[in-house]
């Protein structure tokens, strides 16, 4: 699988890797839209209980999916993240946790930890997809400490941004 969620504006640290560590307990604080030189760009703000947040810039559809998951919004037919969870559950599996484990050249990487009838397994994922799954199941989210340090930004930098729900309603 490809892992392409960006750290636009982050320090750009290379090769930070705390793959084995559970890291800092985290939650999705908000999904907002930032104005960038490339136009509007959704950003998910990951909160680890600090004054700073970890901003991960993602695609619009994934941002909406995370917001729908946070709101427990039923859209009728299952969307991709809902379908993924349905398939995992129908096969006897369960999402245990999500770890944002690495950042390389401004791109974040995550792991989805699953329990299956055959044991536990870890699946490489884009953080946007991993977070969309986690918010639907209330699965624990964590961030490797070095990843948080590499990308942390002041929460205040994002206070004035519009919520993705407001932008999508326009």
Nearest Cα neighbor of 59 from 87, 38, 84, 28 is 38
Instruction: Output the pLDDT for position 63.
Output: 94
- The encoded tokens of residue 93 equal 């599996």
Predicted pLDDT of residue 143: 97
Annotated domain spans of the chain: 5-169
pLDDT of residue 168: 84
The pTM score is 0.84
pLDDT along the chain (170 residues), means of 10: 46 36 88 88 93 95 93 82 92 97 96 96 97 96 97 94 88
Instruction: Tell me how far the alpha carbon of residue 141 is from its chain's centroid.
Output: 9
Q: What is the CATH number of domain 5-169?
A: 3.10.690.10
pLDDT of residue 6: 59
pLDDT tens by residue, 115-148: 999 999 999 999 999 999 999 999 999 999 999 9
């Amino acid at each position: 699988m490809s892992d392409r969620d960006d750290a636009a504006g982050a320090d750009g640290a290379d090769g930070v890797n705390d793959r084995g560590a559970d890291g800092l307990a985290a939650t999705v604080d908000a999904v907002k839209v930032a104005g960038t030189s490339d136009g509007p760009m959704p950003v998910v703000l990951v909160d680890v209980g600090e004054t700073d947040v970890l901003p991960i810039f993602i695609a619009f559809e994934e941002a909406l999916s995370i917001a729908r998951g946070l709101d427990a919004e039923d859209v009728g037919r299952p969307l991709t993240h809902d379908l993924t969870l349905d398939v995992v559950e129908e096969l006897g599996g369960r999402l245990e946790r999500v770890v944002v484990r690495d950042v390389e050249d401004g791109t974040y990487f995550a792991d989805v930890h699953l329990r299956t009838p055959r044991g536990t397994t870890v699946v490489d994922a884009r953080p946007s997809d991993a977070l969309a799954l986690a918010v639907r199941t209330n699965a624990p989210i964590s961030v490797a400490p070095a990843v948080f340090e590499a990308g942390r930004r002041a929460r205040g930098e994002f206070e004035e941004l519009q919520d993705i729900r407001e932008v999508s309603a326009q």
